[in-house]
Amino acid sequence: MLQVNFIKENKEDIIPLLAVKHFDKFEILDEVIELDLKRRSIQKDLDEQLAESNKLAKEIGMLFKTGRGAEANEYKQRTADLKQSAKKLSDELESIQSKLNELIVEIPNVPHPSVPEGKSDEDNEKVYEEGKAPALYDGAKPHWDLAKQYDIIDFDLGSKVTGAGFPFYKNQGARLQRALINFFLDEALEAGYSEVQPPLFVNEDSAYGTGQLPDKEGQMYHIGEDNFYLIPTAEVPVTNIYRNVILKEDEFPVKNVAYSNCFRREAGSYGKDVRGLNRLHQFDKVEIVQIQHPEKSYDTLEEMKDYVAGLLRKLELPFRIVKLCGGDLSFTSALTYDFEVYSAAQEKWLEVSSVSNFENYQANRMKLRYKNENGKTQLAHTLNGSALALPRIVAALLENNQVAEGIKIPEVLKSYTGFHIIN
C-alpha cells in the first residue's frame, strides 16, 4: 500500500498516474489525508495525557511519603480522570486507524510514468520480438491432441479424479515437466539466486502482505477451517520471508528462486482460450524474487527481463515482450513486462511470464525495511518474475517442435529429459 506521507506530499502528481490505472476514487485520497491529520491530533493529546499521568504518579508517591495525603488524593482523582480520558482517546485512535487502513488498501500502486494508457491487453506496448514461427508439417495438431496421441498429458483423467484444469502428466510428459523445472532452477542458481522450497499454504497476513488480499480473494482457494490460502504463485511465501524484517544495506540484492505448484480458481474463464494447457487451476512454476535498494530496482527489473528472455532463447521459442498498459497492470505493480511465446498450431501468442517491480508497495504492507548508511530505516523495493510458468511453455514446445516422427526436444533439455524425441 502507499505511504500516507507519500500521498500527502504528492497528491496532485499521483492523481494523473492513478488515472492511467483507471482509478477514479480520488476522494479517498482526501479522506486519507483528513483522517491522518485527525489521527495525529488525537495521538498528540493521548501522548500528553499519558505523560501527565506518569508525572502525577511519581508526585503522588512523594506526597504520601511527606505526609501530604489530602493533596495526594486530589492528584489520584486527576490521575483517574486522565486514565478515563486516555482510554477514550485510545479507542478513538484505534477506530480512526482501522478506517484509515480500510481506505488506503483501496488505492492501487502508482504506475511508473512509462506505463502506457489503455484498457486491456490489446493496448499493451510491444517492446521486443525475437524468432520466427516454425513452418509446421501437414497434419500438425494443437497440443491437446498431441497429448492424447502420445499419452503424455491426460485431461480426462484429471477431470475424473479432481475436475477440469487439473491434468495428469504421464510418461514422457511427466519427464518433460521435471526436466523443465530442473533446467529453470539450475539456470537461476547459476545467475546467483538462492533456492528455497516454500509451503503451498499461506496465512492471511502473508496473502495481505503481497497484495493478494483483499484484491484477488476470489481467485484463491481458501481452506476455511484453518483460514489458509493455497498459493497462486511462489511470490507470496517467498516475499513474505522478509515480512517484518529490517535488512542491512549491504545485503542487497536479496535473490531467491522457488519451484512450486500454483493454484488459481480462474473464476469467469471460459471458451477456446482455456482449452488444454492454456489455463489451469493447478500448474507448476519457477519464480524469481528480488528485494532491492530503491535506487537500483529499475535496473534490476531490466536485468530480470533480460534473464527471462535468455531462458526462452535457450528453449528456441519465438517470443515477444510487452509492457502492460494501465488497464492490464495489476493492482500492486508499478511496472510489468509480460513475455509471450508463439504457439504455432494455435496461431496465437501465449503469456508465459510476468516480470514486475512493485517498488515499496508490498514492502509497506509487510514492513520490509532496511537501514541506510545514516542508520535511518527505509522501505525496500520488491520485484518478482515467472522464470518460467510451465503449462504454456509445454504447449508451445509440443506444438512448435512436432514433426511426422514425433515431438523434438530442444537441445538444452536433452540432458535433463534423457530422450531427444517424444514418440
Q: Where are the domains of the chain?
A: 4-104, 121-422
Q: What is the pLDDT of residue 224?
A: 93
3-state SS class at 82: helix
Q: Is the dihedral of CA 89, 93, 94, 99 positive or negative?
A: positive
d(CA 197, CA 418): 25
Cα-Cα-Cα-Cα dihedral of 66, 67, 70, 73, to 10°? 60
Residue 333 grid coordinates: 505493480
- The per-residue pLDDT for 355 is 98
With vertex at residue 161, the alpha carbon angle to CA 159 and CA 162, rounded to the nearest 5 degrees, is 65
Cis before residue 35, ω within 30 degrees of 0? Answer: no
Alpha carbon 402 to chain centroid, angstroms: 35
Provide CATH code, domain 4-104: 1.10.287.40
pLDDT of residue 305: 98
Q: Which of 310, 256, 278 is nearest to 389 (CA)?
A: 278
CA distance 189 to 191: 5
The predicted pLDDT at position 411 comes to: 98
Sheet with 406-408, side-by-side order of all strands: 402-403, 406-408, 421-422
Judge contact between 151 and 168, C-beta under 8 A: no
Which CATH architecture describes the domain 121-422? 2-Layer Sandwich (3.30)
Q: Cβ of 406: how many Cβ atoms within 10 Å?
A: 17
C-alpha cell at 164: 477440469
Closest among 382, 386, 380, 326 to 351, alpha carbons compared: 386
C-alpha angle with apex 124: 271 to 233, nearest 5 degrees? 65
Q: What are the two backbone dihedrals, phi and then psi, of residue 228, each rounded to the nearest 5 degrees?
A: -105, 155
pLDDT of residue 76: 77
25: Cβ–Cβ under 8 A, 6 or more apart, which residues?
106, 107
Checking phi first, is residue 347 left (phi over 0); if not, alpha (psi -120 to 50) or beta?
A: left
To 10 degrees, the CA torsion angle through 275, 281, 287, 293?
110
Q: What is the pTM of this model?
A: 0.92
CB count, 10 Å around CB of 151? 12
pLDDT string in tens for the chain (423-residue length): 999 999 999 999 999 999 999 999 999 999 999 999 999 999 999 999 989 888 887 787 777 777 776 777 777 787 888 889 999 999 999 999 999 999 999 999 999 999 999 999 999 999 999 999 999 999 899 999 999 999 999 999 999 999 999 999 999 999 999 999 999 999 999 999 999 999 999 999 999 999 999 877 889 999 999 999 999 999 999 999 999 999 999 999 999 999 999 999 976 555 556 799 999 999 999 999 999 999 999 999 999 999 999 999 999 999 999 999 999 999 999 999 999 999 999 999 999 999 999 999 999 999 999 999 899 999 999 999 999 999 999 999 999 999 999 999 999 999 999 999 999
Question: CA 316 to CA 396: how far, in whole Å?
Answer: 10
Q: What is the pLDDT of residue 269?
A: 55
Radius of gyration of the chain from Cα atoms? Answer: 27
